[in-house]
Amino acid sequence: EAGVTQFPSHSVIEKGQTVTLRCDPISGHDNLYWYRRVMGKEIKFLLHFVKESKQDESGMPNNRFLAERTGGTYSTLKVQPAELEDSGVYFCASSHPQGPYEQYFGPGTRLTVT
């Protein structure tokens, strides 16, 4: 069984540019979560999809971040325009639609904004 995949593994962009991160969850996992870890801080929740619907987006920092999950399969997280403080590692996790809701994490995308 393939695990959660994320693309790209590393992205370096300039302040003001746009970046789109992609996450492919484990097949059959309706739940998809985005998290991020900025330097020196803990891993923080961004948002949660159930299939294509946003269940909880309380962790999204501001309106420069846009997450989508068209068709309920893969998800994208777009940052536009990127700021220096957006640098960090962005993780995606997925879990099965029925319990016990264990979350399986992807390898993360390291975003560097210069």
Partner 1 sequence: AQRVTQPEKLLSVFKGAPVELKCNYSYSGSPELFWYVQYSRQRLQLLLRHISRESIKGFTADLNKGETSFHLKKPFAQEEDSAMYYCALSRSYSGAGSYQLTFGKGTKLSVIP
Q: Which residues contact partner 1 (rule: CB under 8 A)?
A: 3-4, 31, 33, 35, 41-45, 48, 50, 55-56, 59, 91, 93, 95, 99-108
Please state the closest distance from residue 98 (CB atom) to partner 1, in A.
10
**Nearest residue (CB) to partner 1, 17 versus 103:** 103
**Considering the complex, what minimum distance in angstroms separates the CB of residue 114 from partner 1?**
24
Smallest gap from residue 81 Cβ to partner 1 (A): 27
C-beta of 82 vs 108, nearer to partner 1: 108
Q: Rank residues 3 and 16 by Cβ distance to partner 1 and give the closer one.
A: 3
Structure tokens at 81: 């325009």
Lookup: tokens for 99: 């319990």
- Residues making up the chain, counted from first to last: 114
7 versus 104: smaller Cβ distance to partner 1: 104
Separation between Cα atoms, residue 82 and residue 64, nearest integer Å: 8
First to last CA, the chain: 37
Residue 7 bridge partners (DSSP):
22
Shortest distance in whole angstroms from residue 53 CB to partner 1: 11
Nearest to 93 by CA among 27, 1, 46, 31: 31
The span from the CA of 12 to the CA of 97, in Å, is 34
